[in-house]
Amino acid sequence: MEQKEVWLPSLITPTPQEGFELAIKLSRMGVKSTQPDMEVLKRLRKDYANDASGLTAASQVIAINFQTISAANNYWK
């Protein structure tokens, strides 16, 4: 059986900033799970990366994932 790459071993991170980076990774993996073709994703990048509503929408997905990661890490308290 093909061994799947382990890209999400844990939700726990040492710092809030690394938690925010994990939230970015989760958001991008959500896109990649829907469109695995990296060529297509590179082509689309110029669409959302140069569009105000696209950037705000991307920031919102990161915010939702960061909410999850923050709760998982008990807000690094």
| HEC-encoded secondary structure of 56-68 | HHHHHHHHHHHHH
Min dist. Cβ of residue 61 to a second copy (A): 5
Site string for a second copy, 2-41 (x = CB under 8 A): --x-xxxxxxx--xxx--x---x-xxxxxx-xxx----xx
8 Å CB contact between 73 and 19: yes
Euclidean distance between CA atoms 51 and 39, whole angstroms: 20
**Contact positions toward a second copy, by CB under 8 A?**
4, 6-12, 15-17, 20, 24, 26-31, 33-35, 40-41, 44-45, 47-68, 70-72, 75-77
